[in-house]
Structure 1
């Protein structure tokens, strides 16, 4: 949602859009990687519900079951994808500095 803008504006705009949809009684499915938006479920119980698709990790391989599950996704599989394309990460999963 609101791709192509900075993180702060994207979050602010996304939250404003969701509040507007709630005021209008709309039914919507919104896909986002902005985990902070998940807090709207607590602020608007019955109006916002979080769901996700999960992934199983075996070594460096990802396996998706494509089943919708309640709640916020807690798996951090992007680090595996980054390693696969050659981005070196430190042990905590954060981008690392390549040693000469």
Structure 2
């Protein structure tokens, strides 16, 4: 599947939620996620409220090719789409007349 236009890449939050669903069906991956993040099932909900949570989930997905490929396949997107969604989290947002916000290097 070819890479999509950046504006067509699913939102990072959508990908992260789907990734968490994948983790839940794969105990080995879920245990790795908990071990690396220090989270557990009871602290997961509170952690999800953190602004950095989505980035952390995507970072976890991107560190393991098997997980990356599984998450991408489950969502019918490419691994490059996940990389693009993660990169978009790091891009500063600017606004013309304060609305709508747009990515700082979006010159369109």
> Which bracket does the TM-score occupy, shorter chain normalised?
under 0.3
**TM-score, normalised via structure 1 length:** 0.27
Larger proportion of strand: 1
Larger proportion of helix: 2
